[in-house]
A and B are shown apart, each in its own frame.
Chain A
Amino acid sequence: MRIVCPFCGERELGEFSYLGDAKPVRPAAGAPEDDVFDYVYLRDNIAGAMSEHWYHAGGCRAWLKITRNTLTHEISSVEPAAGAGAAEVGA
């Protein structure tokens, strides 16, 4: 698996670390316990195309949002994740 970082170009997998499914959103403070339980413990564990967060630790240190097929490891899109580092993307 090689990942084409939008900032650094194509790099080998060892430069990246994995956070996981990009779908879950941290519940607001004071959210019901069920929402927190759901966020912390339950997973869709998708077999197929999954949107996920990766971190380019060995390169530009940007967070990336990658769409990857968990059945084949095929990567269909890589884009900067919203938040830090993403502001300069358009430049």
Chain B
Amino acid sequence: MRVVAAMSGGVDSAVAAALAVEAGHDVTGVHLALSPDRQQLRSGSRGCCSVEDSHDARRVADELGIPFYVWDLADRFREDVVEDFVAEYAAGRTPNPCLRCNEKIKFSAVLDRARALGFDAVVTGHHARLVDGELRRSVDAAKDQSYVLGVLTPQQLAHAVFPLGEMTKDRVRELAAERGYAVATKPDSHDICFIPDGDTRGFLTRRLGEQPGPVVDAATGATVGTHAGVHGFTVGQRRGLGVTAGDQRPRFVLGIEPVSRTVTIGTAEQAEVSEVVTAAPTWTGPVPELPFRGQVQVRAHGAAVPCEVTPADGGGLRITLGERQRGVAPGQSAVLYAPDALRGDRVLGQAAVSATA
């Protein structure tokens, strides 16, 4: 196949590109420039977006002897990912920008461009298995990234290649070291790539300004404090509430109401939910028949819990949780899995949380 290898400059995408070359594909390396004002050197915990990262990617491409180009997708990224992120927080929801980037950038803008230019597929360094069109968890449970790929459609998956799903992250680093890549020991990136200092609240405050409102304790109905903006909060959050409850028990964010700018807090028990209602889902494969039993995961690094999925109004899903969960926020993606201990849990699809109970 003629493939584009998306190369961030990290070890995963470097090894993915190398494995694609070694598998006999005709590979072209592409680094995505997602920010219009890129820093020269890497800073903080991001691992993809500086000029230094671009050079790291180019070094590997040159060693592989493959063409390498930088595609400027800064405008698309700003419109589809960053602005969406800000708008979601302003509306009191909690988005996952990595999911959004996979949906709108890597497997949409990049894939479309690659296909138009005559390529058959996009190769990435995601830790997930994709066999016969079925998307499954990586063998490395700790590094599994199937959650952020849960938004992909069968059409997108038909043109995606994930060479790393059958190996652990340690093995990826070994393969990089064997090939002499300097990125073999490059630290993992985490946090949100467009917020290099990791200060999401500060980033949102710079974008949205201070919008003070009340903090209301659901247990008493009393206003117990004020806050500088609902974008500083996410449902389930415990730290940084700036209030002390009279009963000395910890408080969690229960809900965010952006119009009245009210942040409601409550006890751990109140913060737990047993049911999730979603917007219309997307499916990675054939549309499953409802109702069905499976597992659901609501955060990139959360655990999956058993669930039953039934239809809800407006084409959405009602997901009844087998275990009560804390910190399920509107805007998050609920990714549905069919457990499979042998071949890896299969990703069925995802839907954005609209309400909880």
A and B: real partners?
Answer: no
A interface with B by C-beta (< 8 Å): none
